[in-house]
Every structure is written in structure tokens, then in C-alpha cells.
Amino acid sequence: MQTFSEENYLKAIFHLSGTDKKPVSTNALAEKMKTKASSATDMVKRLSEKNLVEHTPYQGVTLTESGIRSAVQIIRKHRLWEVFLVDKLEFKWDEVHDLAEELEHINSPILAERLDAFLGYPKTDPHGDPIPDKHGNFEEYKMFSLNKLNKAETGIITGVSEHSTAFLKHLEKLGLTLGKNIEIVDILEFDGSIELKIDGTHQTVSREISKHILISK
């Protein structure tokens, strides 16, 4: 059984390692956890002693199979709680991340299974991120960042890669929420800003914002 802090580190390593499971440096891990490199190193040693990570000096940290299973279950609970908070308690999508950070540490597999069933076995959370099933399997979704589309291409907003409150509030203000159909009207050569058509209106988003809006064609 892991502590809350250990679970947070496992989740951070999982996210940083990406789909190719690349090693994560302790400096990158410390930055992600907003702590000192020495603190991250100490935690890596603890996780290694529990056979949850493998650490190769000067190469980085990777999760063991046991570490991956633990991380995925934490992510599963987090995303299920986000769905519950939005769908059942009517929180907005920019209000649920911190609450789910607390709820994800409830150590009750049967609670997670009943929550999943109660919600109707959702496939994605309110931000479009896939929810792994009870076996830890993620359903494959092909999504592209908005800045990868060309003029006149269309798509549906199906996710975001930035979950900060400020970013999500900004998207909501612009009407760029999940499920909206968009069309690329123009891409400004000067700064890469993108003019969109959405719900019959035009919006312009910066290149930086477009990197974090995920689209399905």
C-alpha cells in the first residue's frame, strides 16, 4: 500500500514517461511535483525499495509492471471522480481537478467499480481524457492538436492537454468546449493564430492555445 505522496509520484512518472514509456529524469520529476531534486531522488529510492520503479543513474526512472498498475488505477479513480463531480454534482470542468486529486486516494477497489457502474461505464472524463477500465486498459482515441490542422479542415473538439483552471475558463468563454464542431477559416502567417468557425460564429485563438485543444476528425 502506498502513501498519498507515493501515489502522486507514480502518477507523475506515468504521465511524464508517455506512451513510449521513456525514462524520466529526477529533475523533470521534481519540476512536475514542484519540489527539490533531492526530494524527488529520496522518493524514487523509496519507490524502488517497494519495486514500483527502476532507477538507472544518469538515465532516469521507469515504472515497473507493479508501478504501472498502481499508477493506472490512481488515474482511473481520478477520472471517474471527475465525471461524477461534473455529471452528478454539476461542477464545471474547470472546478473538478483539485477535488479529484483528493478523492483518487480513497483505497477501495469496490468503490471504484460501483462508481464506474453508477456512471454507466464512461469512456472519457470531462476533459476528454480516456478512462482505463478495471483491468487498466485504455481505449485508443485518435486525436490531433488544433495547430496540426490546415485551412478548411474540420473536426470535433474531443479533449484538452492543459487542465489549469485559467485555461479551461478561457476555453469556456470562447465557446470551445467538448463536442463542438469547428472549421479552420484561416491561419495567420504572422503569428500562427487560427481563425475558427464554431456555431456559426468566428473566434481567433493563439498558436499556444491551439496546441492544447485536441481534435478528432
* CA pair distance 66, 99, nearest whole angstrom: 26
Answer whether 199's CB lies under 8 Å from 180's CB.
yes
Burial of residue 108, with CB atoms counted within 10 A of its CB: 0-12 exposed, 13-18 middle, 19 or more buried? exposed
Answer whether 55's CB lies under 8 Å from 9's CB.
no
Question: Which pLDDT score, from 0 to 100, does residue 140 have?
Answer: 78
Question: Which pLDDT score, from 0 to 100, does residue 101 have?
Answer: 95
The CATH architecture annotation of domain 144-216 reads Roll (2.30)
- Written as nine digits, the cell of 38 is 533531492
Question: Which pLDDT score, from 0 to 100, does residue 133 have?
Answer: 94
Helix axes 37-49, 4-17, angle to 10 degrees: 100
Q: Do the domains 4-63 and 144-216 sit in the same CATH topology, yes or no?
A: no
Question: Which pLDDT score, from 0 to 100, does residue 58 have?
Answer: 84
Q: How many CB atoms lie within 10 A of CB 77?
A: 25
* CA pair distance 155, 14, nearest whole angstrom: 29
Q: Tell me the fold of 4-63.
A: Arc Repressor Mutant, subunit A (1.10.10)
Within the chain, which residues score under 50 in pLDDT? none
Delimit the domains of the chain by residue range. Answer: 4-63, 144-216
Q: How far is CA 142 from the centre of its chain?
A: 15
Question: Which pLDDT score, from 0 to 100, does residue 188 have?
Answer: 93
Read off the pLDDT of residues 83-131 as tens digits, 9 standing for 90 and up: 999 999 999 999 999 999 999 999 999 999 999 999 999 999 999 999 9
